[in-house]
Amino acid sequence: MIKPNRLQKGDTIGVIAPAGPPKMEKLKQAIPLIESFGLRVQLGKHVDKVHGYLAGTDQQRLEDFHDMIANPTIKAIIFARGGYGTGRIAPFLDYQLVKNNPKIIWGYSDITFLHTAIRQLTGLVTFHGPMLASDLGKEDFDTYSLSLFQQLFDPETLIYSENNSINLNPLQILAPGEAEGQLVGGNLSLLNSTLGTPYEIDVKDKLLLIEDIGEEPYQVDSMLNQLKLSGKIEDANGIIVGDFAETETELTSSLTLEQVFQEYFADLSIPVMSGFNIGHCFPHFAVPLGTKARLSTSRKTLEIEPGVG
């Protein structure tokens, strides 16, 4: 794996929107939080463009991405928001350009498609973390989530544990065990959208992270069934179930989300824990993807090696 260089005060961060169009007022509200780390912010040329549900045309979004990668003064790219659209530009990315210019790439949700494609085609470690307009620009964005950006400056092992002073969710053991491997994954619906494509998620001997938003229990069931039938659940060394937000259903009869997880994970011979504050939630525990991690149900911890060098 290729680890991007750590950030230094005075570095410039590029901000682009490779998927849905951000609300510019929210984006502008978020910029001072990034600047509070001693960083400069440069917006992409097309970040304010709107093309239906996309942040500009495919060509405009692709151009912004390539411009930020090729610009030697840009040390990291933090996306404005997710939404939909990164899968549309994935076939046209210059992956050799990315590999030749490794830098921090940070986002989540629809960005999962880019994380997966970039990691598997270049070996670059990327970061699953909150974005500007959709997260940092919200009034309820918390200081703990903001503090996780510090991992971009100080390459220390991250330890996720429910036994700390932060109000993290209690962790639930769905299947016991200890395992290690590369941490991969992200948004469940986007992971499923890679199946059958050249960017299909590789989870062999890895720790698989899943999270999502706005999916009812039967929809999560359907996506987990697809992962299972495609062999992905069987291939993984362990599974980390992050936050599943806004899962309410209008069905008169439904399994709970917890029941769905039990049915797919309880009988596995690999460790599985749920309840991680990783995903569409606050606090949002940001993590590097592609580095080695260790999952322990006996200690109820997830340890992740640094994502920067």
Q: Which residue of the set 46, 128, 189, 211 is catalytic?
A: 211
The two structure tokens encoding residue 66:
């390539």
Q: Which residue of the set 46, 115, 280, 284 is catalytic?
A: 280
Helices (H) and strands (E) in the chain, counts: 10, 14
Does residue 127 contact residue 284 with C-beta atoms inside 8 Å?
no
Biggest CA pair distance of the chain: 56
- b/e sequence 146-181, b meaning 16+ C-beta within 10 Å: bebbebbbebeebebebeeeeebeebbbbbebebbb
**CB half-sphere exposure, 3, CA atoms < 13 A:** 16
- Whether 211 is catalytic is yes
* Cβ-Cβ contacts under 8 Å for 242 (sequence gap 6 or more): 209, 210, 211, 276, 277, 278, 279
Q: Which residue of the set 46, 109, 215, 216 is catalytic?
A: 109
- Whether 115 is catalytic is no
- Whether 161 is catalytic is no
* DSSP designation for 151: G
**DSSP H or E segment with residue 233:** helix 232-235
Which residues are known catalytic residues? 109, 211, 280
